[in-house]
Structure 1
Amino acid sequence: MQQYVARGVHGQTVEVLAQRILTGQLPEGSTLDIGALQTEFDVSLTVLREALRVLAAKGMVDARPKRGTFVRPRGDWSLLDPDVLRWQFSRQVRPGLFADLHEVRSIVEPGAAGLAASRATDDDLAALDDALDAMAAAGNDAGAAVEADLAFHRALLAATHNELLQRMEVLIETGLAERDRMVHRHGPGDPVPAHRAVVGAIRARDALGAAQAMGRLLEQAVADVARLEESPE
């Protein structure tokens, strides 16, 4: 699914409305006062309607005769849509969101590492090595560290040569990017050894070892987030 890119007044309108829905400020089932929103945002009716069309495409709002435009039940939202994921993770609008992400990663990524150990090509291994090199070179550059980590996990899923697993990239990358930005701002430990252990097992065609190494990496990820949650900051 194509990702929505916020631009100008239209983009800001979409972002604000999405955050209000996700945080419950506009609760499920509530009817939107279009006139009041138009006045509040100081936008044209065309801009507001276009913003609502974006949210309607993501299952968050709908419009019906005599009822007007209303917020749909959460069960109808496209929660795996890249933008809906990004909006949730960027503001941590729901407690336990990172815990949910960890559970998904714990199910998917050790298995992916095991598959990669039996299926990875030379090109796949080169992509993993490149990500490790970028991770090592990033140093204290938080932005570069985040990009390197995302490249690693993207390469890992690609190395499974399973198209459905590769589609998990959207969920894992979106949440992982926000987690990484949060962690790297506070000076994490050296991430390279844990990631290198995964690649070493994949290169050795050790499926069990690769899965176990990925499991240890994920345990460290949980510890990093827990450390930040306990921080006075």
Structure 2
Amino acid sequence: MDTFNGTGDGTGGGAGQGLHGRLLAELGPAIASGTIPGGAVLRMEELEVRYGVSRTVVREAVRVLEAMGMVASRRRVGITVQPRSAWDVFDPLVIRWRLAGPDRPAQLRSLGALRAAVEPAAAALAADRATDDQRRRLSALAVELTVTARAGDLAVFLGHDIAFHRLVLEASGNEMFAHLGEVVAAVLTGRTEHHLMPHHPQPYAVARHREVAEAVCAGDAARAERAMRDIVTGAMEELESTLG
């Protein structure tokens, strides 16, 4: 029977069920943090012995890492850790692992710049293209954000915040924007998990979320874009202040 001797710290949440998921939660963060550096060659046999798992479990974990571009497996060579330039930097797990390591400030700044480029444009498109159902859901989420912000319930607030931003991206009617929902969810989750959010969400930021919802419902693209830009630039300013 397979066992597992790793010391997983939970940074691989969402990495999968079972032993290969737990192995992935060890190897992924180690590669992302540079503990296992680019160019390092791992051997199937060594991983089997070190983690007390079968060849099948190792292969399953390596297959996932290969899909992320983090390793390349070659017969008679081994499993070679790839340079960061080869990684799928949009993969939510890669983002999560990088946020858990020393690369956190650079990762947050990079993701913040991405959000600033995409989300205001998505909000403007949503004002023109959102369905009636999407407008109703966005309004309801704005109300939930206000209520949970006042209560200081960051866990519930996070869930509503993720749903709000995903819905704006989806309501843009642009499938490329919509596909970034998981990326935005990963950065919002990472900021909360690593205590980079205020203990109580800022009233100004909550008000801007309500303004986005109102503008989308009113079909006011310019106002929706402006309010969303205020949200993402405000988040970057908060981040810079926290990172010092």
- Tell whether the structures are fold-level matches, with TM greater than 0.5: yes
Residue 10 (structure 2) aligns with: none
Give ranges in structure 2 of 5+ residues lacking alignment. 1-12
Look up the SS of the partner of 1:96 in the other structure. helix
Partner Cα distance (1:213, 1:38) in 2: 52
Is the Cα–Cα contact under 8 Å of residues 121 and 225 in structure 2 kept in the other structure?
Answer: yes
Look up the SS of the partner of 1:43 in the other structure. coil
Look up the SS of the partner of 2:42 in the other structure. coil
**Pairwise CA RMSD of aligned residues?**
2.2
1:7 pairs with one of 17, 20, 36: 17
Q: Give TM-score scaled by structure 1 length.
A: 0.87
Is the Cα–Cα contact under 8 Å of residues 105 and 243 in structure 2 kept in the other structure?
Answer: no
Structure-to-structure mapping, 1:62-211, within 5 angstroms: 62-91=72-101, 93-138=103-148, 139-181=151-193, 182-184=195-197, 186-190=199-203, 191-211=205-225
Look up the SS of the partner of 2:73 in the other structure. strand
Partner Cα distance (1:94, 1:154) in 2: 22
Is the Cα–Cα contact under 8 Å of residues 22 and 88 in structure 1 kept in the other structure?
Answer: yes
- Could you list the runs of 4 or more consecutive aligned residues of structure 1 that deviate by over 4 angstroms after TM superposition? none
Residue 240 (structure 2) aligns with: 226
Distance 1:136 1:175, change over 3 A: same
Give the AA of the match of 2:16.
A
Give 1:128 shift.
Answer: 0.6
Is the Cα–Cα contact under 8 Å of residues 212 and 227 in structure 2 kept in the other structure?
Answer: yes
Look up the SS of the partner of 2:186 in the other structure. helix
Is the Cα–Cα contact under 8 Å of residues 90 and 183 in structure 2 kept in the other structure?
Answer: yes
Is the Cα–Cα contact under 8 Å of residues 188 and 224 in structure 1 kept in the other structure?
Answer: no
Residue 7 (structure 2) aligns with: none
Give 1:39 shift.
Answer: 2.9
Partner Cα distance (1:50, 1:80) in 2: 21
More moved, 221-230 vs 95-104:
221-230
Give 1:72 shift.
Answer: 2.1
Look up the SS of the partner of 1:227 in the other structure. helix
Partner Cα distance (2:189, 2:102) in 1: 13
**Could you report, residue by residue, the CA deviation over 1:100-132 in whole angstroms, capped at 9, with x for unpaired residues?**
111111110111111112222221111111211
Distance 1:166 1:5, change over 3 A: same
Is the Cα–Cα contact under 8 Å of residues 142 and 185 in structure 1 kept in the other structure?
Answer: no
Is the Cα–Cα contact under 8 Å of residues 62 and 72 in structure 1 kept in the other structure?
Answer: yes
Give 1:219 shift.
Answer: 2.1
Look up the SS of the partner of 1:40 in the other structure. helix
Give the AA of the match of 2:41.
T
1:50 equivalenced with 2:60 (yes/no): yes
Give ranges in structure 1 of 5+ residues lacking alignment. none
Partner Cα distance (1:104, 1:80) in 2: 11
Give 1:176 shift.
Answer: 2.1
